[in-house]
Amino acid sequence: MRISCPYCGQRDVVEFTYQGDATVERPDPASIDQNAWNAFVYDRANPAGRHRELWQHSGGCRAHLVVERDTVNHVIHSVAFAGEKQSPKTASKRKSPSRRKAAS
Amino acid sequence: MSGRRIADRGRIDRNRTISFSFDGKRYSGHPGDTLASALLAQGVTLFGRSFKYHRPRGVLTAGIDEPNALVTVLRGKKRDANIPATQLEIYDGLVAESQNRFPSLAFDVGAANQPAGKVFSAGFYYKTFMGPVVGPLRGTRFWMFCEWFIRRAAGLGRADHEPETARYQRMNAYCDMLVVGSGPAGLAAARAAAEQGKRVIVTELDPVAGGSAKWSGETIAGKPAAEWAAGEAEALADMDNVRLLTRTHVWGYYDGNTLAALERVGDHQPVATPGAPHQRHWVIRADTVVLATGAFERPIVFPGNDRPGVMLAGAAQRYAAEFGVLPGKRIAIFTNNDTAYAAAAELASAGATIAAIVDTRQVISAGARELAERAGGELLLGQAVSATSGGKELSGITVQQLDPVTGSASGAKRSISVDCLAMSGGWSPAIHLASQAGAAPKWNDDLQAFLPPDPAQPWLGAGAFSGDTNTADALRNGRNAGLKAAGGRASRAQVAKVEAPTLDPFPAPVFEIRTADGKGKALVDHQLDVTAEDVRLAHREGFLSVEHLKRYTTLGMATDQGKTSNVPGLAIMAEARGISIPETGTTRFRPPFAPVALGALAAERTGDVSPDRLTPMHDWHIERGAEMMPAGLWHRPRIYALPGETLEQAYVREAKTVRAGVGMVDVSTLGKIAVQGPDAAEFLDRVYTNKFSTLPVGKARYGLMLREDGLVLDDGTTWRLGETDFLMTTTTAAAGKVMQHLECLLDVHWPGLKVALTSVSDQWAGAAISGPDSRRVLERVVKGTKVDNETLPFMGIVYGEFDGAPVMICRLSFSGELAYEVYCGAGHGTHVWEALMAAGEPFGILPYGMEALGTLRIEKGHVTGAEIDGRVTARDLYLDWMLSKKKPFVGSAMMDREGLADEERIRLVGLIALDGQPLGGGAHIVEDNSRAEPNESIGHVTAFCYSPVLAKYIALALVRGGKARHGQRAFVADPLRNRYGPVEIVSHHFFDPEGSRMHG
């Protein structure tokens, strides 16, 4: 599996750390709603198919990315910075460094 | 030339002779020989004993699909087990031995299992090890005892217990196109893409490229096929954009077109090439993959089909054409298809007598008939081999009429005397990699075989892999695959002309020959001794799904992964169920395609080549005789022992020095994170349980962090260096985890906060100087600041200079003594350390290690990672005073859940050994030791030491109820170390609970 980091370009999965489900919402810090916190900490859907996940480029720029990935065939549909309202498409379209020319 | 060696054919070098030993006997062969071909050439037929029944076994195949002839290669004390003799290249001094026989291959006592065959049928283990339900041997204990003997009798090669000495290497490669297999299709694909300028990697599992061209006897482009292939391979090797990897098998096809391959660099060499690894583990990322992996021939299942001398027709042809060896002098052919006729013709022209060609079909093609005439021998159509005779080698076969409807042989038996039977049950494309990378394979009725699935990743197929049945098609499809992968279009351009007999490509749907009397074992999986009857038994016992069949009978689960047995096994199951083979289904292939040594996967990531993290003062510690210990990747001094001192004597002396005078410890390994920015204070308030926004500049504070679920994550001090500038320290082990936790919060949940995090663990060197004399030592060496109680109070920070090196000093104490942590740039680390040592000399300063550090903190009751084990709450550690009620923080909403607030949780206490003996980490605490084990555990020891101040063995422990048990007696129970004894549960603050010493 390779992930296109918006900063660093396409990199192998070994450079990344899985950081969990990106679909869960952290409740307001002051909230004492146990159900909301329980949902955030424990409840996971584990879908077979498209899923939004957090991956950190821990062996690179260390940014957290929201990766939309198909858990069945590992096809990655989009990559975007976490916490940014950035269109996933522009993020993944950004061109990676010219890897082909560099290698020989 | 001796025995069955042919004078003139094959790729072996007859000018050189190689000497090797097999089962202690000396043999010779030639370069190019495999162990199998060299032994066959000298008339050896017996290669091993079978797994369960210890039946004598010879060679079945000539390649990686071999289930029978598995041997162990010995290099010194190293044993490389389960190597197919058909894959093993001989070298001077090779020592190989056969497997699964006792006391010897020829006389094997385990063969007594044969008559008892019914006992060892499918599901033997499941049925046997349940144990009798009644009687004196009730239960499983007696059966466990028997199992030892049974397991000894059943098995394959033995592993050694020596440390691995061979070097393995991992290689990463990228290419535009990876071609797996270098037969005609693979060579054509590689050539086409390479000529378009694409970067191509070609892998070939054999030592020489060419695949079937090496033994087909066909003519390509006017040359013998083997010569054509050699020329093509040479041309490819000469191209700068092509890498040809021989002795390499691709064994895994993973996501993102990432493939794993194993290159056997040194397996064929008597002595390793200096600098070269033994094997290379390749990780290849390819834009496109061309799978040209060919096909495996299938045996026919009939009674006695595993007798030495019975082999696949293609293998027999290969031994003659590629290795110049006749597998027999008088050979019979048994087939359901035309390809075996080419084998017959080749064997005859190499000098063998073809006694008979037995074909299950009534009618054969003109091409086959012509080859049969060339081969000579009687053509027996519509007949089948129904039995074999002979002991450790084949002496004859029985031929009977085959009923085309029932598939059973009956009628008059005719015996034919032969020493080799070459059989062919059709061909199964080697779709393993495609199956790993894709969906379920597709059954083809014409070919009676599974064809590759539709690609789910960018790969193309060519040759026998994708069902091509002749070399001309393979060349054309290979070339087109290469062009397509290169981004071009398939062309109708002329490919090399192939001269080969025209044969009927389709086999008859015959997989098994059944006889009226049902006598004799008809083997399906030769390696694990699974017979046709076992498959039917599994069906009768209700195992209908292929997956269940496989697990119950172990069909296809051996080291060969059923390369020869998969389809015949399915066919027999399909027949038993009265459904078709595709309806029965197939299992999905998983990596590895063929066995891979664990050493190759680990490659360099083991032992002395793993990275080391050394503090700037590392060399100083080593010079002072420190015994180092690992802390993650870090190396830290454990003790600085004097000659003749025990571990305990050393750390007790070091700890006493600290309490009485002054000592110093290297704390450079602590995690250090710069937390900077306008919102840094707000951020710390959110991640720590206590407040940091109220911390004045120039002061430090102890902080506690929880996880989102309310359990403790880590602790440490954070220093406010400026209004918007903090230096956070973490425990050594948790540094990475804490950094990731903080980054995640900032990136994902609070992107609005203006905070930057920088790991500065390696940028700062740190020395903690502790003891009543520590201030006086500092005073002697520091310039530019005072360090008296007023200027530098507890938790205060000052900046100064040590002999020209800028330092930052914080008055912190982990030991409970008056103590300071001195930080400086890593480059000044040793300089500052030595300046402190020199200044401390009049006070008798000593460096101390992790053991003394641990002793001092246990006496004080300070917690570390041993207590913060991911299961404890702040209350469990009696740190509830740090939980702010004025603000929410990470974990605050979850930490009060019912189960976490329970008073009866295991909580921090101190223990004193009442018998004056050391305690052990991980030992359990029990209330009552009068009963026989197991006793109920009420907690466990987390850290222990001999306390010099108490002159007792003490420990920290997590015990149910915690404080409520202070003053109670309990017992440690440590069956692992056989340590039992009484302890008193006390407060974890063993020493100076008021903290008067560190505040003084």
Least CB–CB distance from B456: residue in A41, A58, A73: A73
Q: Which pLDDT band, with edges at 50, 70 and 90, does B2 fall under? A: very low
Instruction: Quote the CA–CA distance of B250 and B430 in Å, as a whole number.
Output: 12
Query: How large is the average pLDDT for residues B234-260?
Result: 95
In angstroms, the separation between the Cα of residue A29 and the nearest Cα of chain B is 6
Specify the DSSP class assigned to residue B117: T
Judged by CB atoms closer than 8 Å, whether chains meet at A64 and B748 is answered as yes
Instruction: Quote the CA–CA distance of B273 and B413 in Å, as a whole number.
Output: 57
Q: Verify that B663 and B799 share a domain, yes or no.
A: yes
Least CB–CB distance from B709: residue in A19, A41, A82: A41
Residue B193 lies in a domain: no
Which of A3, A15, A44, A64 to probe the B interface (max B CBs under 10 A)? A64
Average predicted confidence (pLDDT) for chain A: 83
Q: Which chain B residue has the Cα nearest residue A58? A: B740
Taking the Cβ of residue B174 and every Cβ of chain A, the question of whether any pair is shorter than 8 Å is answered with: yes
Q: State the complex-level ipTM.
A: 0.85
Output the pTM of the full model.
0.79
B910 burial type by CB count under 10 A (0-12 exposed, 13-18 middle, 19+ buried): buried
Judged by CB atoms closer than 8 Å, whether chains meet at A34 and B893 is answered as yes
Number of domains in chain B: 5
Judged by CB atoms closer than 8 Å, whether chains meet at B744 and A74 is answered as no
Per-residue pLDDT at B330: 96
pLDDT tens digits, residue range B469-504? 999 999 999 999 999 998 877 666 678 899 999 999
Beta carbons of B202 and B182 less than 8 angstroms apart: yes
In angstroms, the separation between the Cα of residue A30 and the nearest Cα of chain B is 6
Return the bridge partners of B675, or none. B726, B757
Q: Which pLDDT band, with edges at 50, 70 and 90, does B118 fall under? A: low
Per-residue pLDDT at B407: 82
> Which residues in chain B touch residue A40, judged by CB atoms under 8 angstroms apart?
708
Least confident of A88-92, B349-353, B576-580: A88-92
Per-residue pLDDT at B160: 86
Domain encompassing residue B656: 621-669+763-856
Q: Which pLDDT band, with edges at 50, 70 and 90, does A91 fall under? A: very low
Q: Compute CA distances B198 → B188, B203, B484, whole Å.
A: 14, 16, 11
pLDDT tens digits, residue range B334-345? 999 999 999 999
Average predicted confidence (pLDDT) for chain B: 92
Give the residue from B163, B183, B207 where a domain finishes. B163
B8 burial type by CB count under 10 A (0-12 exposed, 13-18 middle, 19+ buried): exposed
Q: Which pLDDT band, with edges at 50, 70 and 90, does B935 fall under? A: confident
Q: Verify that B154 and B27 share a domain, yes or no.
A: yes
The domain A2-102 is placed in CATH, from the list 3.40.47.10, 3.40.190.10, 3.30.2270.10, 3.40.640.10, at 3.30.2270.10
Q: Verify that B148 and B100 share a domain, yes or no.
A: yes
Does residue B976 surpass a pLDDT of 70? yes
Least confident of A59-63, B137-141, B487-491: B137-141
In angstroms, the separation between the Cα of residue A22 and the nearest Cα of chain B is 9
Least confident of B16-20, B325-329, B406-410, B872-876: B406-410
Q: Verify that B90 and B16 share a domain, yes or no.
A: yes
Residue B197 lies in a domain: no
Beta carbons of B193 and B209 less than 8 angstroms apart: no
Per-residue pLDDT at A87: 40
The B residues from 262 to 301 touching A (CB cutoff 8 Å) are 285
DSSP string, B5-38: B-SS-SS--TTS-EEEEETTEEEEE-TT-BHHHH
Residue B882 lies in a domain: no
Give the residue from B856, B876, B892 where a domain finishes. B856
Does residue B997 surpass a pLDDT of 60? yes
Q: Verify that B816 and B841 share a domain, yes or no.
A: yes
In angstroms, the separation between the Cα of residue B93 and the nearest Cα of chain A is 40
Beta carbons of B503 and B339 less than 8 angstroms apart: yes
Q: Which pLDDT band, with edges at 50, 70 and 90, does B143 fall under? A: low
Does residue A96 surpass a pLDDT of 60? no
CATH number of the domain that residue B11 is part of: 3.10.20.440
Does residue B311 surpass a pLDDT of 50? yes
Query: How large is the average pLDDT for residues B211-231?
Result: 96
Query: How large is the average pLDDT for residues B711-736?
Result: 96
Residue B877 lies in a domain: no
Judged by CB atoms closer than 8 Å, whether chains meet at B748 and A1 is answered as no
> Which residues in chain B touch residue A26, judged by CB atoms under 8 angstroms apart?
748-749
Per-residue pLDDT at A101: 38
User: What is the domain partition of chain A in residue ranges?
Assistant: 2-102
Least CB–CB distance from A64: residue in B174, B743, B889: B743
Least confident of B112-121, B535-544, B548-557: B112-121
> Which residues in chain B touch residue A13, judged by CB atoms under 8 angstroms apart?
256
Q: Verify that B400 and B311 share a domain, yes or no.
A: yes
Nearest to B203 by CA among B243, B234, B241: B243
In angstroms, the separation between the Cα of residue A94 and the nearest Cα of chain B is 19
Per-residue pLDDT at B1: 37
Higher-scoring residue by pLDDT: B743, B590? B743
Q: Compute CA distances B292 → B47, B190, B213, B452, B472, whole Å.
A: 31, 10, 13, 11, 14
Beta carbons of B768 and B819 less than 8 angstroms apart: yes
Higher-scoring residue by pLDDT: B116, B768? B768
E-strand ranges in B723-829 read 725-730, 756-759, 764-770, 782-783, 797-802, 805-810, 819-825
Residue B873 lies in a domain: no
Q: Verify that B657 and B695 share a domain, yes or no.
A: no
Instruction: Quote the CA–CA distance of B931 and B666 in Å, as a whole number.
Output: 47
Query: How large is the average pLDDT for residues A78-95?
Result: 60
CATH number of the domain that residue B753 is part of: 3.30.70.1400
Per-residue pLDDT at B545: 85
Q: Verify that B711 and B819 share a domain, yes or no.
A: no
In angstroms, the separation between the Cα of residue A33 and the nearest Cα of chain B is 8
pLDDT tens digits, residue range B746-765? 999 999 999 999 999 999 99
Instruction: Quote the CA–CA distance of B738 and B761 in Å, as a whole number.
Output: 12
Judged by CB atoms closer than 8 Å, whether chains meet at A2 and B749 is answered as no
CATH number of the domain that residue B834 is part of: 3.30.1360.120
Does residue B149 surpass a pLDDT of 80? no
Q: Which chain B residue has the Cα nearest residue A62? A: B743
Size of interface A-B (CB pairs under 8 A): 61
Does residue A103 surpass a pLDDT of 60? no
Least CB–CB distance from B744: residue in A12, A27, A64: A64
Q: Verify that B777 and B753 share a domain, yes or no.
A: no
In angstroms, the separation between the Cα of residue B852 and the nearest Cα of chain A is 35
> Which residues in chain A touch residue B286, judged by CB atoms under 8 angstroms apart?
none
B1 burial type by CB count under 10 A (0-12 exposed, 13-18 middle, 19+ buried): exposed
Does residue B130 surpass a pLDDT of 60? no
Taking the Cβ of residue B548 and every Cβ of chain A, the question of whether any pair is shorter than 8 Å is answered with: no
Which of A11, A24, A33, A41 to probe the B interface (max B CBs under 10 A)? A41
Query: How large is the average pLDDT for residues A19-26?
Result: 94
Instruction: Quote the CA–CA distance of B507 and B728 in Å, as a whole number.
Output: 74
Per-residue pLDDT at A2: 87
Least confident of B96-105, B171-180, B785-794, B919-928: B96-105
Q: Verify that B851 and B911 share a domain, yes or no.
A: no
Which of B171, B744, B753, B900 to probe the A interface (max A CBs under 10 A)? B744
Residue B438 lies in a domain: no
CA dihedral defined by B384, B389, B395, B396, rounded to 10 degrees? -30
Taking the Cβ of residue B439 and every Cβ of chain A, the question of whether any pair is shorter than 8 Å is answered with: no
pLDDT tens digits, residue range B806-852? 999 999 999 999 999 999 999 999 999 999 999 999 999 999 999 99
Higher-scoring residue by pLDDT: B741, B123? B741
Does residue B165 surpass a pLDDT of 90? no
Q: Verify that B819 and B965 share a domain, yes or no.
A: no
N-to-C CA span, chain B? 95
pLDDT tens digits, residue range B13-72? 999 999 999 999 999 999 999 999 999 999 999 998 888 888 899 999 999 999 999 999
In angstroms, the separation between the Cα of residue B678 and the nearest Cα of chain A is 19
Least CB–CB distance from B747: residue in A12, A82, A103: A82
Query: How large is the average pLDDT for residues B87-113?
Result: 80
Q: Give me A104's structure tokens.
A: 């020989």
Nearest to B617 by CA among B511, B766, B488: B766
> Which residues in chain B touch residue A19, judged by CB atoms under 8 angstroms apart?
740, 744, 748
Instruction: Quote the CA–CA distance of B830 and B625 in Å, as a whole number.
Output: 16
Residue B695 CB coordination number (10 Å):
19
Please give the radius of gyration of chain A, using alpha carbons only, rounded to the nearest integer: 16
In angstroms, the separation between the Cα of residue A90 and the nearest Cα of chain B is 19
Please report which helix (H) or strand (E) contains residue B390, including its range: strand B383-390
Taking the Cβ of residue B590 and every Cβ of chain A, the question of whether any pair is shorter than 8 Å is answered with: no
Instruction: Quote the CA–CA distance of B914 and B981 in Å, as a whole number.
Output: 8
Q: Verify that B648 and B694 share a domain, yes or no.
A: no
Per-residue pLDDT at B487: 84
Give the residue from B102, B129, B163 where a domain finishes. B163
Does residue B697 surpass a pLDDT of 50? yes
Query: How large is the average pLDDT for residues A30-34?
Result: 92
Per-residue pLDDT at B444: 95
Task: Read off the amino acid at residue A81.
Answer: F
Least confident of B130-144, B360-374, B478-492: B130-144
Per-residue pLDDT at B128: 56
Higher-scoring residue by pLDDT: B417, B608? B417
